Amino acid sequence: MAFILFILLSFLLQGALGEIICEELPTGLCAFAISSSGQRCLVENYVGKDGNMEYECKTSEIVVRHLYDWIESDECTNACGVDRKMIGIASDSLLESRFIAKLCSRSCYDNCPNIVDLYHNLAIGEGVFLGDLCEVHRKMPRRAMAQVLSSGAAAQGPVSRADGPSYMAKAPTSI
């Protein structure tokens, strides 16, 4: 009996301490949040029973080192040019010169570690080091785009649920 009481109190205490659980976040705070377990939260969409598109916050399999219990600030989402209503996680935006300019700006790159870490990892997945890309972009924006394109970073397009997890290759869209 004491063990069951201990478990119940542990769950209540975790909730009282403000632990972030992705599935409990509203979709407006979901994208760019990190759960208490260090996993990225992401917005997923699905067709509801009534045939309308529904959105929900889910825990991804992507684990972030050194960041926990994080909901990205409005200042960072604005400085970095990201949209809280983005569905899934994708590297497509690394091909957009205006996005790279915002991501590589000092207000984003130096002050928003969560967003920079996410896009750093996405860039590495495409064979590009974000720090180098930003340096080149600051000096020669067109050459930076050529670097991304020549690395094979061009996205292959959306992947259906049958092809794999929905957070892996969906192109960003807005709610």
Q: What is the pLDDT along the chain (175 residues), one digit of tens a residue?
A: 543 433 334 444 344 457 999 999 999 999 999 999 999 999 999 999 999 999 999 999 999 988 999 999 999 999 999 998 888 888 888 888 899 999 999 999 999 999 999 999 999 999 999 999 999 888 876 655 555 555 544 444 433 333 333 333 333 444 4
Look at residue 98 in the predicted model and tell me its pLDDT: 92
CB atoms within 10 A of CB 118: 24
Length of the chain equals 175
Residues 64, 39 contacting (CB under 8 angstroms): yes
pLDDT of amino acid 159: 36
Helix (H, G, I), strand (E, B) or coil at 8: helix
Phi/psi for 140 (5° steps) reads -145, 90
| pTM confidence score | 0.70
pLDDT at 160: 35
pLDDT at 175: 47
Q: Of 146, 87, 145, 83, nearest to 115 (Cα)?
A: 83
Predicted local distance difference test score (pLDDT) of residue 90:
84
pLDDT value for 121: 93
Residue 9: per-residue pLDDT: 41
Strand 70-71 to strand 39-47: parallel, antiparallel, or no bridges (unpaired)? unpaired
Work out whether the CA dihedral 148, 173, 103, 33 comes out positive or negative.
negative
Is residue 112 within 8 A of residue 72, CB to CB? The reply is yes
- For the sheet with 53-63, list strands across it: 53-63, 39-47, 33-34, 70-71
pLDDT of the residue at 47: 94
Q: How far apart are CA 171 and CA 168, in angstroms?
A: 9
Query: What are the residue ranges spanned by the domains of the chain?
Result: 20-169
Position 149 scores a pLDDT of 52
- Residue owning tokens 């928003």: 112
Q: If DSSP codes are grouped into helix, strand and coil, which group holds residue 31?
A: coil
